[in-house]
Amino acid sequence: MNVGMLWFDDDPRTALAAKIERAVGYYRQKYGHLPDVCLVHPSMLSAAPADRVGKVTVRPNPVILPGHLWIGVEEQA
């Protein structure tokens, strides 16, 4: 994914899945379609990370800052 939407939510009381769901809702409202991938900093994942939230694939990426989500559509090769 080269193009996406950066979402910031550093509230420690909110679960990662809820943060992703909120970002997906905003993305859909803003761009008119659903994203299918979300990149997060590895520290945001639990010991047994869920690799999906709904239809969105969640992947760790150390380049993404903690508290941020990079969400968008996976490029097709």
pLDDT for 61-73, tens place per residue? 999 999 999 999 9
Q: Which domain holds residue 24?
A: 5-72
29: in domain = yes
Q: pLDDT band for position 46 (50/70/90)? A: confident
Q: pLDDT band for position 48 (50/70/90)? A: low
- Between CA 62 and CA 39 the distance in angstroms is 9
Looking at the predicted structure, is the pLDDT value of residue 20 above 90? Answer: yes
Q: Could you tell me what percent of the chain has a pLDDT over 70?
A: 94
The sign of the CA dihedral 35, 43, 61, 12 is positive
| 3-29 as b/e: b if 16+ CB within 10 A | ebbebeeeeeeeebeebbeebbeebee
Number of separate domains in the chain: 1
What mean pLDDT comes out for the span 41-46? 90
77: in domain = no
- Between CA 31 and CA 28 the distance in angstroms is 5
38: in domain = yes
